Amino acid sequence: MSNPASPPAVGVVDDRPPLTFPPGFLWGAATAAYQIEGAAAKGGRTPSIWDTFSHTPGRVVEGHTGDVACDHYHRLGSDVALMAELGLRSYRFSVSWPRVQPGGTGPANAEGLDFYRRLVDELLAHGIEPWLTLYHWDLPQPLEDVGGWPARDTAARFADYATLVADALGDRVRYWTTLNEPWCSAFLGYGSGVHAPGRSDGADAVRAGHHLMLGHGLAVQALRAARPTAEVGVTVNLYPVTPASDAPADVDAARRIDGLANRFFLDPLLRGSYPADLMADLAKVTDFGHVRDGDLATISTPLDVVGVNYYSRHVVAAPVPGAQPEPYWRAPSCWPGSEDVRFVTRGVPVTDMNWEIDAPGLVETLRRVHEEYTDLPLYVTENGSAFVDEVVDGRVDDVDRLAYFDAHLRAAHEAIEAGVPLRGYFAWSLMDNFEWAWGYTKRFGMIHVDYDTQVRIPKSSARWYAEVIRRNGLAAQ
């Protein structure tokens, strides 16, 4: 059993044992380009779908954009120094496609690549392993203008871009992730439209999902060709999906959502096929005519590592005629063909995103990937929580976030004891940042960012995490 979500209250004796992680466990923190870099029009960068989307009124809360964000582009040196101060062993960042290949086609932009060269060199100089994600949602706008991810050609463009980055950084970056969370790109971007580019068409979402995975497979091949020694993987966001009751209709609702949320990606990537039941569920949405011979072999090109992002669990129930969908999944839905499945809240503690806190779900998720899909080394490439923070006397005592990390690290350890080859953990996020459709209203960082002054304050969770890294585990407290 996992430990409860919060450490014992002050004054209560904590009898939990200290937990030590395997030697060499890769402790890190993660960010993404559009969420932190700012400098949207600097150094030859051109707009991505997120620039267009965030500048479209009504798309992002309070009209926030990533134009300035955390201004990391200009603060790379001091940000890496902060990472070193926390003792991070690794830093997961993403490369902005339109910064290094403006417009998404043609030659590389030397100035854009230079920024990432400087970042990587600075990390290496501090003994921090760079972990590079090629695509964290910022498709160059011109590629969207000619069809975006629902168009097959975008997959080939992505592989070309992968080659440009590998040629420039392959000599100093060992770990490569192709895509971050293709479910979000496909189903939030083209299904519900709550993410860029904000389109809403179930068939397009399914096509986008396929072409993202095709682009991934082609990019894996391109990376291997450019850098045979690279460790290459993909990051998927996974949720345990639990039926609200044992009633067969609820169990079937869980099967459907599990198909769309998890197996839509895991099966093609790690088994080379789409699940038959998922294809049947989607029959009224698409005939899968976009899948060509050989695609699934490309998509399942062998990997070296698999990245798992974990935040919460879905609990679902059978449709009730006439019932309204949950607001977050507002129509049009990000669950094509299963729009009417109900998402149930259990009344357990939630984060500021309203996501239920469910650390045992991380154990379940990691075990499932290992036991049902692959023996490859796994990494938690994101895990974290948003809470409302308060700066008091220059300090941020984020006890809720700290408790979230504590509970999930205990879950990660439990997974390792159950035989999962978990090799590392990246906290989301290194610092507060642009939380997509929520703008700057949700804070996930271990480091507080004052967006007016760009002053950074490591929160209590950051100090605590530094100690976890130093001990390679959790203290008894």
State the CB neighbour count (10 A cutoff) for residue 221.
Answer: 16
Least distance from ligand FCB to the Cβ atom of residue 190, Å: 16
Least distance from ligand FCB to the Cβ atom of residue 436, Å: 5
**Residue 281 or 382 with smaller CB distance to ligand FCB:** 382
The answer to the question of residue 175 lying near ligand FCB (CB under 6 A) is no
Taking the C-alpha atoms of residue 402 and residue 267, their distance in angstroms, rounded to an integer, is 34
Dihedral sign from CA coordinates of 13, 19, 25, 31: negative
State the CB neighbour count (10 A cutoff) for residue 80.
Answer: 23
Least distance from ligand FCB to the Cβ atom of residue 387, Å: 12
**Residue 188 or 409 with smaller CB distance to ligand FCB:** 188
**Residue 46 or 177 with smaller CB distance to ligand FCB:** 177
**Residue 382 or 406 with smaller CB distance to ligand FCB:** 382
Taking the C-alpha atoms of residue 269 and residue 266, their distance in angstroms, rounded to an integer, is 5
Structure tokens at 350: 């939630």
The answer to the question of residue 184 lying near ligand FCB (CB under 6 A) is yes
Taking the C-alpha atoms of residue 195 and residue 183, their distance in angstroms, rounded to an integer, is 11
| Residue choice 363, 409, 435, 449 for contact with ligand FCB (CB under 6 A) | 435
The answer to the question of residue 181 lying near ligand FCB (CB under 6 A) is yes
Residues numbered 441 to 470 that lie near ligand FCB (CB under 6 A) are: 444
The answer to the question of residue 73 lying near ligand FCB (CB under 6 A) is no
**Residue 116 or 239 with smaller CB distance to ligand FCB:** 239
Q: Which stretch binds ligand FCB (CB under 6 A): 180-188, 213-221, 319-327, 462-470?
A: 180-188
The answer to the question of residue 46 lying near ligand FCB (CB under 6 A) is no
Least distance from ligand FCB to the Cβ atom of residue 310, Å: 10
Q: Which stretch binds ligand FCB (CB under 6 A): 5-13, 71-79, 177-185, 324-332?
A: 177-185
Give the CA angle between residues 180, 132, 93 to the nearest 5°.
75
Contact string (CB under 6 A) for ligand FCB, positions 260-299, x = contact: ----------------------------------------
Least distance from ligand FCB to the Cβ atom of residue 379, Å: 14
Contact string (CB under 6 A) for ligand FCB, positions 404-433, x = contact: ------------------------x-----
Least distance from ligand FCB to the Cβ atom of residue 242, Å: 20
**Residue 68 or 353 with smaller CB distance to ligand FCB:** 353
| Residue choice 264, 436, 440, 465 for contact with ligand FCB (CB under 6 A) | 436
Least distance from ligand FCB to the Cβ atom of residue 351, Å: 10
The answer to the question of residue 180 lying near ligand FCB (CB under 6 A) is yes
CA 429 to chain centre: 10
Q: How many chain residues interact with ligand FCB (CB under 6 A)? A: 12
| Half-sphere exposure for 240 (CA within 13 Å, toward CB) | 18
Contact string (CB under 6 A) for ligand FCB, positions 133-172, x = contact: ----------------------------------------
Least distance from ligand FCB to the Cβ atom of residue 252, Å: 27
Residues numbered 344 to 373 that lie near ligand FCB (CB under 6 A) are: none
Contact string (CB under 6 A) for ligand FCB, positions 233-252, x = contact: ----x---------------
The answer to the question of residue 187 lying near ligand FCB (CB under 6 A) is no
Q: Residue type at 312?
A: S
Q: Which residues are catalytic?
A: 181, 382
**Residue 33 or 169 with smaller CB distance to ligand FCB:** 33
- Per residue, the 3-state secondary structure of the chain, as one string, reads CCCCCCCCCCCCCCCCCCEECCCCCEEEEECCHHHHCCCCCCCCCCCEHHHHHHCCCCCCHHHCCCCCCCCHHHCHHHHHHHHHHHCCCEEEEECCHHHHCHHHCCCCCHHHHHHHHHHHHHHHHCCCEEEEEEECCCCEHHHHHCCCCCCCHHHHHHHHHHHHHHHHHCCCCCEEEEEECHHHHHHHHHHHCCCCCCCCCHHHHHHHHHHHHHHHHHHHHHHHHHCCCCEEEEEEECCCEEECCCCHHHHHHHHHHHHHHHHHHHHHHHHCCCCHHHHHHCCCCCCCCCCCCCHHHHHCCCCCEEEEECCCCEEEECCCCCCCCCHHHCCCCCCCCCCCCEECCCCCCECCCCCECCCHHHHHHHHHHHHHHCCCCEEEEECCCCCCCCCECCECCCHHHHHHHHHHHHHHHHHHHCCCCEEEEEEECCECCCCHHHHHHCCCCCEEECCCCCCEEECHHHHHHHHHHHHCEECCC
Least distance from ligand FCB to the Cβ atom of residue 262, Å: 14
**Residue 32 or 357 with smaller CB distance to ligand FCB:** 32
| Residue choice 26, 32, 123, 218 for contact with ligand FCB (CB under 6 A) | 32
Dihedral sign from CA coordinates of 159, 160, 165, 168: positive
**Residue 195 or 456 with smaller CB distance to ligand FCB:** 195
Q: Residue type at 457?
A: I
Write out the residues near ligand FCB by the rule CB under 6 A.
Answer: 32, 35, 180-181, 184, 237, 309, 382, 428, 435-436, 444
